[in-house]
Structure 1
Amino acid sequence: MSEPIKTRRDGRVLEVTMDRPKANAIDAPTSRIMGDIFAAYRDDPELRCAILTGAGEKFFCPGWDLKAAADGEGPVSDYGVGGFGGLQELPNMNKPVIAAVNGIAFGGGFEIMMSCDIIIAAEHATFALPEINSGVIADAATIKLPKRIPYHIAMDMLFTGRVLDAEEAARWGFVNEVVPADKLMDRAREKAALLADGPPLVFASIKEVLREAEDKKFQDVLNMMNRQELQTVKTLYNSEDQKEGARAFAEKRKPVWKGK
């Protein structure tokens, strides 16, 4: 049996492809593999950006493998270091991840997609949270979605499980771009190349600040930044990259980021 998750390294960009015929559904062993892959990406100083996509043209990921569930796998199984899909609960994930949604993104697949920082969708991609039909709650989406899009739209999706097309997803703002299917990976790689060429210490700071801001007041987080109590901010403000950014601006040239 072939590996359910394929990886491809292109310079400073890691491509991760879910490849579990027929639908790229995720069971616990596959989730653990994904967690290990994304943890290795997080910890590799040579890698600057990752792309997550699905194999084929029909499915990005429909979520939890219900065949595994029927065989006894429970919703609280050991999904690995990053939680379901390897990303949702991965500690200190301070690098950008792009979702290239090549088809159906339902349930847990939708939630994995939401754990990415930028979402690019093929024109035929569709999105839904159909967990109600399986007698379970869309746990991560119930927490995240009402904070990302209008409350009433989020509740409609959670209560009804209805399917949204890519155009509507973009209208509500949980998809950045919609492109023709044959241009999806080209566009994702173009965006990844841009981010891989950007300031990694700044990106890390942005992601940590956003996590801290989830449950704190604005002024409290700002004070933490100003006092350099967040490790990524402290690293950034005491780095060569920070000095390089100022020098490059003064010298009217493109900065050379070293991540240190």
Structure 2
Amino acid sequence: MSEYQFIRFRIEQQVGRITLARPPLNVFHIPMMKEIGKALDQCMGQHDMVAILFDSAPECRAFSAGVAVEDHKAETVYQMLDSFHNIFRTIEQMAKPTVAIVDGAALGGGCELVLGCDIVVASERARFGQPEIKLGVFPPIAAILMPRIVGEKRARELILTGELIDAAEAMRLGLINHLVPSEQLEQKAQEVLDKLRELAAPALEAARRAMDVARGQTLEAALGKVEDIYLNELMKTADAHEGIAAFLEKRRPRWRHR
């Protein structure tokens, strides 16, 4: 029997794939969010992993319609927030690139998971939005990430009105990276993953961590933190030296992901 009931998880070709599988709408409840967190924990020790991919199972009509409304009640709201926000804490801590395939609606917590991913491939069927305000609450992750991605004014409007947008508007705003027909989603995602597979995992992690720590900082403050990552983390890896040597010797690098 699988250790996962609400997701499917596998590691293949240096990618950890987390498939949301709670039909029909992949509504996140506390057990499902804990399973996502457990899968991410399993990715932590995979030194050669170049990406984590989120997608939805074929039997589901949405990427995710968000967090279960019943879990917002007073007796469960703390556990709900902790389970959901730990997903984002873990993603930031491991600093591996994250990719999402979105076919259908990504609303509420589903949209927040998309916001938390580095690269998003979506179909024309995709819809995005943060309708929490209509329930008298607000989306904490979106309040942090959405202004950084789509701009302050548009983010405020989307969060304060609960407006839903289609894939074309999401593409225009920079919420998604690639917009393709549904039947081409997997192919496009694999093209992205193949580019990452050509690279060294430590370099990818260092680059992602550098971008994370630099957010909201002055140039001088950000440079200090980014230089520390470069000199004291990246340049202590074998792959950094291999990449430089391979270039100078005019050969392909042989990554060890160390």
So what's the TM-score if we normalise by structure 1? 0.89
For 2:103, the equivalent position in structure 1 comes to 102
For 2:143, the equivalent position in structure 1 comes to 142
For 1:65, the equivalent position in structure 2 comes to 68
Flag structure 1 segments of 5+ consecutive residues without an equivalent.
Answer: none
* Residue in structure 2 matching 1:24, options 23, 26, 36: 26
- Per the alignment, do residues 86 and 34 of structure 1 end up closer, same or farther by CA in structure 2, a change over 3 Å counting? farther
Please identify, of 209-218 and 198-207, the stretch whose mean Cα deviation from structure 2 is larger.
209-218
Q: Report SS of the residue matched to 1:88.
A: helix
Higher helix residue share: 2
Report the CA distance between 1:223 and its aligned residue.
Answer: 2.2
- Cα distance in 2 between the residues matched to 1:34 and 1:85: 11
- Per the alignment, do residues 73 and 167 of structure 1 end up closer, same or farther by CA in structure 2, a change over 3 Å counting? farther
Segments of 4+ in structure 1 off by > 6 A? none
- Cα distance in 1 between the residues matched to 2:161 and 2:243: 49
For 2:41, the equivalent position in structure 1 comes to 39
Residues 152-177 of structure 1 show CA distances to partners (whole Å, capped at 9, x for unaligned) of 21112111111111111000111000
Q: Report SS of the residue matched to 1:142.
A: helix
Please identify, of 199-208 and 104-113, the stretch whose mean Cα deviation from structure 2 is larger.
199-208
Contact 1:31 / 1:79 at 8 angstroms: preserved in 2? no
**What amino acid maps onto 2:7 in structure 1?**
I
**What amino acid maps onto 1:27 in structure 2?**
H
Contact 1:42 / 1:94 at 8 angstroms: preserved in 2? no
Contact 2:214 / 2:226 at 8 angstroms: preserved in 1? no
State yes or no: 1:121 paired with 2:119: no
Please identify, of 1-10 and 88-97, the stretch whose mean Cα deviation from structure 2 is larger.
1-10
Contact 1:129 / 1:161 at 8 angstroms: preserved in 2? yes
Report the CA distance between 1:236 and its aligned residue.
Answer: 1.4
State yes or no: 1:7 paired with 2:43: no
- Cα distance in 2 between the residues matched to 1:180 and 1:10: 25
- Cα distance in 2 between the residues matched to 1:233 and 1:31: 36
- Cα distance in 1 between the residues matched to 2:75 and 2:53: 28
**What amino acid maps onto 2:213 in structure 1?**
E
Report the CA distance between 1:100 and its aligned residue.
Answer: 0.6
Q: Report SS of the residue matched to 1:105.
A: strand
- Cα distance in 2 between the residues matched to 1:40 and 1:89: 15
Report the CA distance between 1:33 and its aligned residue.
Answer: 1.0
Flag structure 2 segments of 5+ consecutive residues without an equivalent.
Answer: none
**What amino acid maps onto 1:130 in structure 2?**
P
Residues 198-242 of structure 1 show CA distances to partners (whole Å, capped at 9, x for unaligned) of 12111111122122212432212212343x3x3x75231122211
Residues 88-122 of structure 1 show CA distances to partners (whole Å, capped at 9, x for unaligned) of 12151211110111110001111111111111101
For 1:250, the equivalent position in structure 2 comes to 248
Residues 168-189 of structure 1 show CA distances to partners (whole Å, capped at 9, x for unaligned) of 1000111000011011122112
Report the CA distance between 1:42 and its aligned residue.
Answer: 2.4
Residues 24-48 of structure 1 show CA distances to partners (whole Å, capped at 9, x for unaligned) of 0111111111111112112212422
Contact 1:5 / 1:30 at 8 angstroms: preserved in 2? yes
Report the CA distance between 1:87 and its aligned residue.
Answer: 2.9
State yes or no: 1:234 paired with 2:232: yes
